[in-house]
Amino acid sequence: MVAREDINKLIEATDMYALVSPYVKLIKSGSGYKGLCPFHNEKTPSFSVSQEKHLAHCFSCGKGGNPIQFLMDIKNISFMEAVKELAKINNMELNIDDPNAKIEEERKKYYDLNLLAYNLFTRNLFMTNEGKKALAYLEGRGLDEETIKTFGIGLAPKDGKMLYKLLKESNFLELDMVDVGLVKNVNDNYVDFFVNRIMFPIRNERGKIIGFSGRDYTGSSEAKYMNTIESPIFKKNLVLYNLDLAIPAISKNNRIILHEGYMDVIATYRSGLHEVVCSMGTALTTGQIKQISRFTKNVILSFDSDSAGIKATYRAAELFIKEGFNVNVLKIDKTKDSDEFVKKYGLKTYYDYFNSHITTFIDYVYNDIINNLNVNDIFNLENSKKNLFKYLNLYHSNIVLEKYLNLFSQKIGVSLNALLNDYNKLNNNLNYEPEPIISNIPKKNKEEIYLYELRIFEYAKISKNKALEIDSKLEKGNNFVGFKPINERLWQELMNYYNIYDEFNEEDFITLLQSKNLYDDYYHMIEDNEKYKEKLDLPYSEIDLEECLNKLVSNSNKNKLNNLQKTIVEQSDLELKKELTIKKFQMRKKYERN
């Protein structure tokens, strides 16, 4: 926790021009400065910087704010991290009571170990004789020195104990070296985990090295890639390679490009498409999808064009669509992957090809089915039809359904009604009517109450005072009752969060929830907020807040009365029945007065 007066001093001490200018080309405009927004694409400058007001704000997309908020947005860091960084910039010492400081201090030794290893690997690549062969290999793969340095590529020494000796001389413990995956114990002898491999550092979203991937470039190993083992800071199923470099472009372009391998990422990045990541060469995980959902809901899949890549495309698309993503696909026909395409045709050709060959996933599916269709083979025809039905079901849209069934019916020469009949039969004879559009205030009471709950939670994120005010009126969450009730523990954890922090930060709150296994509950609530966003797109106001609170309290009271009435009906003891009836009458009177 940081005192409010210290935060104010920090903001007042910040030179906004010096803070923002590394990210935005600023031009003098009146008493302030203007530039193109770093958070979204635009041709007319709408990003304004005021030295006097200590603000950097985009009037188009709304991103930015005071220097702390600007750093949080531009670097995707937490409130506390932004405060610490700003204090460092301004040479200010703050009294910070950070509950995560102990965890970060414990992790620091692992980051330091990886950083020392990284420095050794990069020096070994550029400054030794053994590095010359590896450099020639990388240059043969189309990587110039600038690219190699941008991605921090290095070379693990042939001497299988060089890194261990360096770490030992730097006073690190063997146990920590083993824990972070840089050293292994073989018959009571400590040796380097990576030997004579080209090294790709794996960074977290804040740019800290959490692990490595080592590629064999000599052909002497059956394993083309070796990755860091699971460690206190490296969880492979949560990691996305290049996310830290991609975040600014993801934010600006509101999309992410997902590849299978590192070299494809590097090739695409070099072409000018910087919003690119890969999933560490393994099947996409739900953890990685959740990671991506924090930045955008638009994904472009660009996997290998072989059968394995096609299967991976289908699997990934299905997972993304089920999580509410808008999924597009880049299908490369001329080569196996993006890396090969760049080497064969060049960066400019690849960039143009990429932007002109993106297609929706359902178009990708339909074209794939048509390209493999044989209308004279009944087995092939039936299988093609069922595949089309399967992927149309993902969209829950009558418009999409009718469009593609109509195209398919014309292609195979049958009526649309015949296809629709088969579609309904294969889906348990359900009539897939469009989901009813819910206006700002839904008609179904249970759903209506849940939407009020979602809205209340968003109000509580505005400020600590607002959250405490709401909590007081809701009697510590007891009135959170509805169709899909917000977990009362989530509300309680929000109150616990405000006992630590004075301002709400999504990432810090999620960290708190993860430590208590509540992240999935919160993630589903975020999803529902996105789902109902357009249906409850009302301006926040004190009047609206009061209405939401009244509705929730009223609903809670109604439920209490209904439960009491049920108890009265089921009660056989006449005296107790009489007492409960009087209690019900008193409760109703009390609720009517309130």
Lowest mean pLDDT among 88-102, 295-309, 356-370: 88-102
* pLDDT beyond 50 at 441: no
Lowest mean pLDDT among 54-63, 234-243, 348-357, 488-497: 488-497
Lowest mean pLDDT among 197-206, 275-284, 302-311: 275-284
- How many separate helices (H) and strands (E) can be counted in the chain? 26, 16
* pLDDT beyond 60 at 261: yes
Tokens at 535, concatenated:
């249906």
pLDDT of res. 554 = 77
Mean pLDDT (the chain) is 84
pLDDT of res. 446 = 54
Lowest mean pLDDT among 33-37, 364-368, 575-579: 575-579
| Residue range 129-149, pLDDT digits in tens | 999 999 999 999 989 999 999
Residue 450, H or E segment: helix 445-462
Compute the 3-state secondary structure of the chain and give helix, strand, coil in percent, each to the nearest 5.
55, 10, 35
Tokens at 564, concatenated:
């009491």
* pLDDT beyond 60 at 536: no
Q: How far apart are CA 549 and CA 479, in angstroms?
A: 9
What residue segments make up the domains of the chain, in order of their start? 4-89, 101-234, 243-366, 374-426, 445-589
Residue with tokens 């049958």: 414
* pLDDT beyond 60 at 99: no
> What is the C-alpha radius of gyration for the chain, rounded to an integer number of angstroms?
29
What's the predicted TM-score (pTM) here?
0.66
Helix H, strand E, coil C: the string for 468-491 is: HHHHHHCCCCCCCCCCCCCCHHHH
Tokens at 396, concatenated:
């829950």
pLDDT of res. 362 = 96
3-state secondary structure of 201: strand
- Identity of the highest mean pLDDT range in 89-103, 139-153, 439-453: 139-153
Are the C-beta atoms of 489 and 498 separated by less than 8 Å? Answer: no
Q: Which amino acid is at 301?
A: L
pLDDT of res. 27 = 92
* pLDDT beyond 90 at 593: no
**The dihedral sign for the CA sequence 188, 190, 196, 197:** positive
CA proximity to 10, closest of 91, 129, 100, 126: 91
pLDDT of res. 479 = 53
The conformation of residue 230, written as its DSSP 8-state character, comes to P
Lowest mean pLDDT among 237-246, 355-364, 408-417, 506-515: 506-515
pLDDT of res. 425 = 80
* pLDDT beyond 80 at 543: no
Interval 560-575 mean pLDDT: 75
* pLDDT beyond 70 at 590: no
pLDDT of res. 435 = 34
Residues 6+ apart with CB under 8 A from 556: 478, 479, 481
Residue with tokens 């399967």: 390
pLDDT of res. 233 = 92
| Residue range 163-207, pLDDT digits in tens | 999 999 999 999 999 999 999 999 889 999 999 999 999 999 889
| Residue range 386-431, pLDDT digits in tens | 999 999 989 988 899 999 999 999 999 999 988 988 888 877 544 4
Q: How far apart are CA 91 and CA 6, in angstroms?
A: 13
3-state secondary structure of 220: coil
pLDDT-derived band at 329 (thresholds 50, 70, 90) equals very high
Tokens at 426, concatenated:
């294969």
Are the C-beta atoms of 187 and 151 separated by less than 8 Å? Answer: no
Q: Give the CATH class of 4-89.
A: alpha beta
* 243-366 CATH: 3.40.1360.10
pLDDT of res. 482 = 47
Tokens at 563, concatenated:
């439960």
pLDDT of res. 516 = 66
Q: Could you tell me which residue, 81 or 113, shows the higher pLDDT? A: 113
Strands (E), 279-373: 298-301, 326-330, 358-360
Does the 101-234 domain belong in CATH 3.30.110.30?
no
